[in-house]
Structure 1
């Protein structure tokens, strides 16, 4: 199990927000009890029956909060559970059991930031147990290294559950309910669990939100004390992400045909961040240029973490300049490069990544939805920017943020539509 180490009680002497994040990272009954005592909120029960929720599991945006500019605001607390299938099935009885377990959570919590949003996906290892293949409309290859310089561990979990809420007690309660540790959540009876079907093989907690990385950075490896994370940043690298116009729509990432129409795919990378040089040796202008593009730095377009940019990062204006910037200035921006993977001017992946402090190291769980894994690979290749380095001035040291990130794990999953989310076959009726 990776992540947060022994499941013991959370540390004392922390702010409420830091205390709750610590509890989520630790997990277990004692952490949940402490979290319930510290949050002191009334979490709303469901206002939609499970069958009334969108058939697309990834259809979160309509139900999530937005910031002052209209960008979707992701939940504050996240938990990824890597599951191993431990039975000889799958059988119809197991499908009914897993469906009841998920629907118990959906009856207990409202769909949104103040309640619970979740997805369930299945990896290639799950589908390998069947004689039949996935339909041609589903692109779900085994994960693999995507650059010459990375050597990640390739996950082979059967399933991935993503739980997210603004309240730490909700993701902890949902986890405990699924694994059979609670008989009721939010005053709603738990009808079933994953016992006998799945075992939790991997647990990855995380968080997202303005000010949270700055509050969490103390004692985290890789962040210099002399140049801390800015207070207004939702991410460890000091800038806002998830601009509405720089995200693919939920429609764009939805599988359009075949038995899994209405589903999507998930790519998940675990990334370690190396921020010593990022904050201590690079100037702010250099960080802006490498994160966005050189024009953003030279024209002073970014204030603070970039909230002033509104609903778009503004790199649309400098995407076509990537090759020239690399050749003449020796700097090309991360968002500038990734923007080259657009189709008809629109992004092709929907990011739902969040911060990590697994093993007390600054990191990122990069989670993206896309219609096919090929869309993610295309975006990653554009972001890597290998085609821009020939003839550039200092291409290695100034190629976006590549030198500050290290991919340690990769995984791919199929997220079926709701009707097939409980132990599907490769060719569901």
Structure 2
């Protein structure tokens, strides 16, 4: 790989993350001029909740947390069907702490989670506690036929700084003895776990447009230049997201953990941009009321902290009157006490040369995700109106679900190869209570 000096900086950084490896990391260091603070020598102040990211993320002008721009998902297998050893647990925790010493826990630095599948926990004689809702993945719509992911573990690396996710990955693989000026332990995550798949992506103003030519079937000339996601609109409004408290498991040995669903979706952007006009895209992403009343300016920055779905008419009424319903409008039906129940941390991707979305959602139990997905399907609406099972039914006709996986994100003290049923007070490392 060359150092990419003739490639625009943002394009280069995204490409480097997608390619990965020591050469990409080294080249990235030369292009990304940023001083990343190191992490503390004492990690005891770090929160027990691995997913507690919001307090250390930057915010936009409206106060919405700004998602980290660069992402890597490492899907991992424990190379034995036996119960993990204490030695392997200690080695894994040592490696994870190594990259946390190297990079500050922040949007500019490194944010990470480690999660585990039902398949991982099936190796234990004990069942998961009742406080953990973690079924095996399954199809969640009558029109989808996804493959199911069942790696033992997933490591999610996230940062606004491309060199950080690359450096962390290389350190986890044992390819770098020093990152960000900090010596790493003489151990590697790959001494304990095998990497079976690597997924990458990006999210943030302008990144989809700048990388549109890397995927097939993407009408690059139709993209809003400042859109943070491939479908052209802002997402992640504060009031349309569950709080980190809402998605946190409340009881049992995995209290302060959460569950995670990861879907791999393929996007049909040619149809989205070339077949549909702006009115249709607004109506299908939000609701017809927004399209009729010019509620959205540009990508939606004017909406503040909410997509203003409460201004829309009820879904069934909209379906009968307009023959089309919006994605956000349907999703709002899954609220409890008028509050969302999932926290999205998804990102776009050009993995495999296809425009895609890695839909990553956190929730207290997988049942909350399934409830939200059922609302997104709009099956009842399609049976009672002119709205089709997929056509004019939110954005369903533009996405295809290729893979689904469900995971438990344990509390931080149990993130290294946890047992299925640890003692309630199990915390090998003492951490802050948040």
Deviation at 1:13, TM superposition (A): 3.0
Report the counterpart of residue 378 of structure 2 in structure 1. 385
Q: How do 1:14-25 and structure 2 match up within 5 A?
A: 14-25=7-18
Report the counterpart of residue 26 of structure 2 in structure 1. 33
- Is residue 399 from structure 1 mapped to residue 393 from structure 2 by the alignment? yes
Report the counterpart of residue 4 of structure 1 in structure 2. none
- Is residue 327 from structure 1 mapped to residue 327 from structure 2 by the alignment? no
- Is residue 160 from structure 1 mapped to residue 154 from structure 2 by the alignment? yes
Deviates more, 1:391-400 or 1:362-371: 391-400
TM-score of the aligned structures, taking structure 1 as reference length:
0.96
* Number of positions where the alignment pairs a residue of Structure 1 with one of Structure 2: 420
Deviation at 1:293, TM superposition (A): 0.4
- Is residue 202 from structure 1 mapped to residue 201 from structure 2 by the alignment? no
* 2:318–2:325 Cα contact (<8 Å) kept: yes
Deviation at 1:222, TM superposition (A): 2.4
> For the residues of structure 2 that align with 1:417 and 1:378, how far apart are their CA atoms?
24
> For the residues of structure 1 that align with 2:31 and 2:362, how far apart are their CA atoms?
33
Secondary structure, counterpart of 1:267 in structure 2: strand
- Deviating beyond 6 angstroms after TM superposition, the runs of 4 or more aligned structure 1 residues are none
Deviation at 1:217, TM superposition (A): 0.5
2:164 aligned residue (170, 179, 192): 170
- Is residue 309 from structure 1 mapped to residue 303 from structure 2 by the alignment? yes
Report the counterpart of residue 5 of structure 1 in structure 2. none
Report the counterpart of residue 337 of structure 2 in structure 1. 344
> For the residues of structure 1 that align with 2:246 and 2:361, how far apart are their CA atoms?
13
> For the residues of structure 2 that align with 1:216 and 1:307, how far apart are their CA atoms?
21
- Is residue 232 from structure 1 mapped to residue 229 from structure 2 by the alignment? no
Secondary structure, counterpart of 1:195 in structure 2: helix
- Is residue 243 from structure 1 mapped to residue 237 from structure 2 by the alignment? yes
* 1:265–1:413 Cα contact (<8 Å) kept: yes
1:214 aligned residue (209, 214, 218): 209
> For the residues of structure 2 that align with 1:10 and 1:244, how far apart are their CA atoms?
38
CA RMSD of aligned residues (A): 1.3
- Is residue 359 from structure 1 mapped to residue 352 from structure 2 by the alignment? yes
Structure 1 alignment gaps of length 5 or more: 1-7
Structure 2 alignment gaps of length 5 or more: 424-434
Deviation at 1:89, TM superposition (A): 4.0
For residues 101-154 of structure 1, give each alpha carbon's deviation from its aligned partner in whole angstroms, at most 9, with x where no partner exists.
111111111111110000000001110111110000001110111111111110
TM-score of the aligned structures, taking structure 2 as reference length:
0.95
* 1:11–1:22 Cα contact (<8 Å) kept: no
Report the counterpart of residue 141 of structure 1 in structure 2. 135
> For the residues of structure 2 that align with 1:126 and 1:75, how far apart are their CA atoms?
28
